[in-house]
Structure 1
């Protein structure tokens, strides 16, 4: 054993002791000395179907051992995908099919991202490019067969960009795994074909609160409630849409680790205003929808993430995104003088393990006080226009139909 380089191989051959030579860094490569020990056969040694098979791939010193080591991942990748190897993807469609299988069970990608990739491949990439032979693919073909046909079908430029980007990712991944020798669309930019819409002004400011509250009050009850919760607690849209009534126990809203982006359970203290709001919404849901496990029920389980984003579109205020609400939440906490560590904990940014352990009681108390301060500030800024029931001493009677209608809750 030793390092696979020319000097080490010469020493091994001169030594005349062992027949085989291998490097633990490249366990699939094995060298076997010739009878006169002037050269060596290079074998690829693999276990296939329970049997160890030796395949001669070169002879040293005729072959460069350094190059063979570099190319080893290519040779192994070819065997791992059967006949789907360099030059043997029969068309673009077969490469896209391979990529779908490649990411199918890869939990390092979010389920929603994988679902989006599958949808784009099925609905757009395969119908428009699937039958093309790989060597037919080029910048001009992507422009003609994908971009221009999607424009003709009146898809938004930004959506076309997303489709092109997914195609590029699939080809880049195949190239990195040495399943194709060259990437025919490396370097292509969708802006070579179309002009993308200018970025819209989505940022929210405290000065937008009154107008935002007014717009929310005009939406249907579940739509309003989804964005009110995100505004009150700075939660992500995916965490909020999956909320179940059982997660609101006593004085705490528990977001399970499986729903959180950082895969850590998040516990948010409930203020009196939040409790009043949740109780009001639950009564509305029982009366108009029936008893449900989820706050925002869909056909099966919670509403889909796509539905939640469509609700965002319905509000039509500055084209803001759910993340803009989260940024506004964090900014307003800072403006109110909330400690940075407490602010970071409220938005569920990861803290060092020891810090979470030793200051838990301090953090919990600080989070509760920060939310009380923040919710009181929202009320001062006109939040009661959206949710009059959060003001128990208000003259508004939230049980009256006309009050609910005026506040956008029916």
Structure 2
């Protein structure tokens, strides 16, 4: 009896092998790629790959490859380009008919491309859906010009009272979409190449987002009044100069012995980062672990969200909660690096503490010196923070300073119990 029906699963080699071996259904598809359909050959050793499209009210099947001779990952990745090239009704002399067609293609082009972060893809899709398509979607691609871009996008967003810097972001995302289409030869020329948003508007001057050492008292006060996880997130960033995305993903297993490890997959430069733990840091981390066990329950991560760690958006919302003036989470990192320099910490040690890349040969040759220097620098820096009132935020740490190295531990404040 001939197999019939459709099997649904993920479009990868392992899933395809299981489907063929099962011998039950004739076709296979992945809901993420509705235009691709696989049909098993008679001996179920191979499968024909079809592009299934609705053209002029009729469903048309075109064979484009045979699996496993063709790489299914490459085919699915190239699907947006294939669709754009085949959409004859939407293209005129090698170009999309409207700006909307190009933007819709670009949304599909980046949708499942994991080389871009999910937050970046979400941001691009939101800008296209909410601003670019409504304002530019119906514009003929042959008619787009700097003047039209200024009139239809920039001026209308200004009228709707969007901030100039946000308008710049919308323009930049539009330019990225056009650039991608031009590089893939989906349009013969890029009609907006060279346009700068500053041709139309004057951008706001950069806000003074810097944090200074004189802000520490107010910063400590805000942290003291915050919920425990909020406080702990930014205290760790202050103590170690880590990035917010690295810190929010911290797991208890990353704190082993005398070291906090940030895995390469979490680091911006994709290099594992190992930081020595001072006695003050160990006391702080141990206390937070006990607090979490008592009030939250046993968790594998320091800042649990609904699924896994808190989202980056939640982390940034927490940053807003502790503001007493406008500053970003990155300004905590800048303050950390500045204070290290002011304390006389060697530049190379400072760069390693913030996980800036060093030449491989140099990093390997002086590893022991760097490790010792990092430990000494953090001891000096944490002692200096305590001198400036850091104990008001984390009273369980040792109340020592550069002059007082007492070993007694202060009582815990009620907010930390």
TM over 0.5: yes
Structure 2 residue aligned with 1:332: 339
Q: Which whole-Å CA distance do the structure 2 matches of 1:286 and 1:126 have between them?
A: 49
Q: Which has the higher contact order (CA 8 A, sep 6+)?
A: 1
Structure 1 residue aligned with 2:372: 365
Pair 1:201-2:208 in alignment: yes
In the TM superposition, what is the alpha-carbon distance from 1:162 to its structure 2 partner? 1.0
Larger radius of gyration: 1
In the TM superposition, what is the alpha-carbon distance from 1:309 to its structure 2 partner? 1.9
Corresponding residue to 2:86 among 83, 87, 90: 83
Corresponding residue to 2:387 among 373, 380, 389: 380
Using a 3 Å threshold, how does the CA distance of structure 1 residues 274 and 128 change in structure 2: closer, same or farther?
same
In the TM superposition, what is the alpha-carbon distance from 1:258 to its structure 2 partner? 0.3
In the TM superposition, what is the alpha-carbon distance from 1:374 to its structure 2 partner? 0.7
- Tell me which moved more, 92-101 or 338-347: 92-101
In the TM superposition, what is the alpha-carbon distance from 1:384 to its structure 2 partner? 1.2
Pair 1:241-2:248 in alignment: yes
Q: Which whole-Å CA distance do the structure 2 matches of 1:211 and 1:236 have between them?
A: 21
Retained in 2: the 8 A contact 1:93–1:130? yes
1:56-205 map, 5 Å: 82-83=85-86, 87-104=94-111, 109-151=116-158, 153-205=160-212
SS in 2 for 1:135: coil
In the TM superposition, what is the alpha-carbon distance from 1:186 to its structure 2 partner? 3.0
Q: Which whole-Å CA distance do the structure 2 matches of 1:394 and 1:128 have between them?
A: 65
- Tell me which moved more, 189-198 or 305-314: 189-198
Pair 1:404-2:414 in alignment: yes
SS in 1 for 2:261: strand
Pair 1:320-2:327 in alignment: yes
Q: Which whole-Å CA distance do the structure 1 matches of 2:137 and 2:172 have between them?
A: 16
Corresponding residue to 1:211 among 202, 213, 218: 218
Retained in 2: the 8 A contact 1:388–1:394? no
Q: Which whole-Å CA distance do the structure 2 matches of 1:292 and 1:118 have between them?
A: 34
- Matched positions, count: 330
Q: Which whole-Å CA distance do the structure 2 matches of 1:124 and 1:294 have between them?
A: 38
CA offsets per residue over residues 150-209 of structure 1, 9 Å max, x none?
A: 445554332222112111121133234443233333333334444433321112222222
Pair 1:275-2:282 in alignment: yes
Q: Which whole-Å CA distance do the structure 1 matches of 2:159 and 2:303 have between them?
A: 36
With the length of structure 2 as denominator, give the TM-score of the two structures: 0.70
Retained in 2: the 8 A contact 1:253–1:268? yes
Q: Which whole-Å CA distance do the structure 1 matches of 2:332 and 2:229 have between them?
A: 17
Q: Which whole-Å CA distance do the structure 2 matches of 1:133 and 1:291 have between them?
A: 58
Q: Which whole-Å CA distance do the structure 1 matches of 2:136 and 2:310 have between them?
A: 32
In the TM superposition, what is the alpha-carbon distance from 1:298 to its structure 2 partner? 1.9
Retained in 1: the 8 A contact 2:85–2:186? no
Q: Which whole-Å CA distance do the structure 1 matches of 2:214 and 2:233 have between them?
A: 21
Retained in 2: the 8 A contact 1:201–1:318? no
Stretches of structure 2 lacking an aligned partner (at least 5 in a row): 1-63, 67-80, 400-406
SS in 2 for 1:82: helix
Structure 1 residue aligned with 2:269: 262
CA offsets per residue over residues 7-33 of structure 1, 9 Å max, x none?
A: xxxxxxxxxxxxxxxxxxxxxxxxxxx
In the TM superposition, what is the alpha-carbon distance from 1:280 to its structure 2 partner? 2.1
SS in 1 for 2:86: coil
SS in 2 for 1:390: coil
CA offsets per residue over residues 245-286 of structure 1, 9 Å max, x none?
A: 121112111101100111111111111111111122223323
Pair 1:309-2:312 in alignment: no
- How well do the aligned residues superpose, as a CA RMSD in angstroms? 2.9
Using a 3 Å threshold, how does the CA distance of structure 1 residues 289 and 130 change in structure 2: closer, same or farther?
farther
Retained in 1: the 8 A contact 2:397–2:409? no
